[in-house]
Amino acid sequence: MTRLDQKPWLTAYAEGVPHEIDPPTESLVDMIDGSVARHRQSVALEFFGASTTYAQLGEQISRAAEGLRRLGVQKGDRVALVLPNCPQHVVAFYAILRLGAIVIEHNPMYTARELRHQFEDHGAKVAIVWDKVYDIIADFPTDIRLDRMVSVNMTTAFPLLKRLALTLPIPKARKSRALLTATPESRHVYEWDRLLGGRQLSKRHPRPSVDDIAILQYTSGTTGSPKGAILTHSNLRANAAQSRAWVPGLSIGDETFYGVLPLFHAYGLTIGLTTAMSIGARLVLFPKFDIELVLAAVKSSPPTFLPAVPPIYEALARASERRGVDLSSLRFAISGAMSLPVSTVAKWEEQTGGLLVEGYGMTEASPIALGNPIGPTRRPGTVGVPFPSTEIRVVDPTDPTVDRPDGESGELLIRGPQVFKGYWRRPGDTSATLLPGGWLRTGDIVTVSEDGFVSVIDRLKEIIITGGFNVSPSEVEDTLVGHPDVEGAAVVGLPRDSGDEEVAAAIVLRDGAKFDSGALRDYCRSHLAAYKVPKRIIEVEVLPRSLIGKVLRREVRDGLIADKNK
């Protein structure tokens, strides 16, 4: 029998992993300042071959903080970031926190409508944005009034020769330049370099406390409405400390992390950025995952630690084998955001000689809560065991106050220092997700083995996970129904061999309308980020519904799977 209150999983911990972590006593600002002091001449960031030392990073953070202070940013203000991975993103992140302000991360590939919904919700007055999306935000309706926008041209962080190459009057250079940067049409654009052009912030300026809010991280709900998860400095520092403790082989000041996951995603932010900065690692940043860029970087800056998702591991293992690129420097790799196929683990470890383990988390847990041990006790096919200082329960999903008997499946609850403080301005959603005693409802149905390993067997929430990102079915359905030819829609996720899902839709057309899947997908593409657009759309006469009229997505999903397998 499994007694979760006795923490049977502790015996599975890798050697050297503590059962508990010390509660954080300092903020993320104190953390980065400590790394700057200890690793001044070491490389903190690398971007297309250009490097930034910890000393340079610390100075840039201080100058950006002073620039933001002069723009009126104060403690508790919300500042929006709409940036891909680049050094400016890292500097802006810590500069905002240095003032005691709150970072709000956004996906720069979102459409105007998606971004507007989030800006309406959080009400930030200052935004630091990629120049390619500057005009989108500048064109927001007057009910979203920003006091100031700062435009970032990320190519200014390139090495000089690469910057010059982008200016060449040849098609290849023009194409690359168009992907990386754009000149805003708006007048009087406030440039990032101007923000950094002044003096450094006074050391006497008040610093944030460990319990202050650090970020609002948006997560999709089943309703499709934006929900900002409130994460404190303590939450993020605790999760970074847990992640660091989970990999006892990490060496302070000697590791090279690859930032292929977006920093605007909780997984990339904590495991990619915060954990790397906390140990004085070199963080190699990529604006997006690109096989060519990654393999080129491997030759000059061999990675030692890679947080990623299964499709990235599959692609890298295949490409490195085909091209003879040596990945043996990668000692540790942690996979999250979707199910990790056992075959992917085997392929990766054969190719690299390192370990690949699966973790489990959610935005509301900063995000990691469970992981497979880094060692012989790991168990591929499961999401592992609770992190240090983390507890779990398995409860009746219809009444989460009732624990399931040992060995029975039920909804997973999580409690630990990484669990969020609630949703921004959404007390109802908060009370439904964060239960008395600090227990977080995950919405996942699990079983737990006698020695504490957790297996996810189903989801209560109907969120679709594709490419490591969450997609709300309701949001895509609302978009489809907005088309004049569509009367009803049901959107579901279809399983892929890679471990994630394909967004698919079943629609009912209005009388007289002609089915055109290509036109419907184009319509969705104009309203939604590309990864949310259904890969498959089929027409049906009616959608299955319950007695109270609710669309039965599970039946739709089963039907689409059967249709796909014909």
CB burial string 25-56: b at 16+ within 10 A, e below = ebbbbbbbbebbeebeebbbbbbbebbbbbeb
Give the up-direction half-sphere exposure of residue 395: CA atoms within 13 A in the CB hemisphere.
18
Cα–Cα distance measured from residue 309 to residue 261, given in angstroms and rounded to the nearest whole number: 8
How does strand 501-509 pair with strand 536-539? Answer: parallel
Q: Which residue has the tokens 């000689």?
A: 353
Identify the pLDDT of residue 334.
95
Of 424, 453, 425, 457, which Cα lies nearest the Cα of 442?
457
User: What pTM value is reported for the model?
Assistant: 0.87
| Dist CA 217 CA 264 (whole Å) | 8
What residues contact residue 307 under an 8 Å CB cut-off, 6+ apart? 257, 261, 267, 268, 271, 272, 333, 334, 335, 336
Contacts of 131 (CB under 8 A, 6+ apart): 151, 152, 153, 181, 182, 183, 184
pLDDT digits (tens, 9 = 90+) for 388-413: 999 999 999 989 999 999 889 999 99
Asked whether 280 and 35 are in contact (CB, 8 A), the reply is: yes
Q: Which amino acid is at 557?
A: R
243: nearest Cα among 211, 281, 215: 281
- Counting every residue written for the chain, the total comes to 566
Looking at residue 152, its amino acid is V
β-pair partners for 488: 508
Whole-angstrom Cα distance, residue 262 to residue 540? 37
Point out which residues pair with 148 in neighbouring strands.
Answer: 126
> At residue 505, what are phi and psi to the nearest 5 degrees?
-140, 145
Question: What's the helix, strand, coil split of the chain in %, to 5?
Answer: 35, 25, 40
Q: Which two tokens stand for residue 395?
A: 């409860």
Residue 205, classified by CB atoms within 10 Å of its CB into exposed (0-12), middle (13-18) or buried (19+), is middle
For residue 368, how many other CB atoms are within 10 A of its CB? 27
How buried is residue 231: exposed, middle or buried, by Cβ count under 10 Å (0-12/13-18/19+)?
buried
Residues in the chain with pLDDT values less than 70: 1-2, 220-225, 546-550, 566
- What is the residue type of 323? R
Cis check: omega of the bond before 397, within 30 degrees of 0:
no
- The H or E element that residue 557 is part of is helix 553-564
Pick the closest to residue 282 from 255, 302, 304, 308 (CA basis): 255
Q: Alpha-carbon distance 152 to 129, whole Å?
A: 6
How far apart, in whole angstroms, are the C-alpha atoms of residue 82 and residue 106? Answer: 5
Are 277 and 44 in contact by the 8 Å Cβ rule? The answer is yes
The DSSP bridge pattern shows strands 256-259 and 282-285 to be parallel
- Reduce the secondary structure of 79-115 to three states and give it as a string: EEEECCCCHHHHHHHHHHHHCCCEEEEECCCCCHHHH
Residue 349's contacts (CB-CB under 8 Å, 6 or more residues apart) are 355, 356
Q: Please tell me the predicted confidence (pLDDT) of residue 224.
A: 53
